[in-house]
């Protein structure tokens, strides 16, 4: 649930930045912008989600430090997602 809220809030923030000018100038309607955003956000997350996870796993966090204490890694991940979601929605 937390990951869904985070994905929604990040996507909503990015869509406003991407389509605000196009909708404001009348190039696309709000409905068209929502449809396009839904398509491209979904395709982007499906195609690039694994690469992002791999970068976090190998390039940012050394998961080998958590061998034997996976619950600590999971608690940290959930805390980071929750904090990010709250920050995005505020």
pLDDT at 63: 74
Given a cut of 90, whether residue 28 has pLDDT beyond it is yes
The residue assigned the tokens 């985070």 is: 6
Structure tokens at 35: 């449809």
pLDDT tens readout for residues 45-63: 889 888 887 887 777 777 7
Q: Where are the domains of the chain?
A: 2-89
Given a cut of 80, whether residue 71 has pLDDT beyond it is yes
Tell me what percent of the residues of the chain surpass a pLDDT of 70.
Answer: 100
Half-sphere exposure for 26 (CA within 13 Å, toward CB): 0
- Select the more confidently predicted residue: 30 or 15: 30
């Amino acid at each position: 649930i937390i990951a869904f809220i985070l994905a929604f809030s990040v996507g909503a923030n990015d869509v406003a930045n991407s389509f605000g000018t196009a909708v404001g100038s009348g190039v696309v309607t709000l409905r068209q912008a929502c449809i396009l955003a839904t398509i491209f956000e979904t395709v982007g997350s499906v195609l690039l989600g694994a690469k992002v996870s791999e970068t976090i796993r190998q390039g940012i966090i050394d998961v080998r430090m958590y061998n034997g204490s996976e619950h600590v890694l999971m608690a940290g991940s959930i805390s980071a997602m929750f904090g990010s979601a709250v920050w995005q929605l505020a």
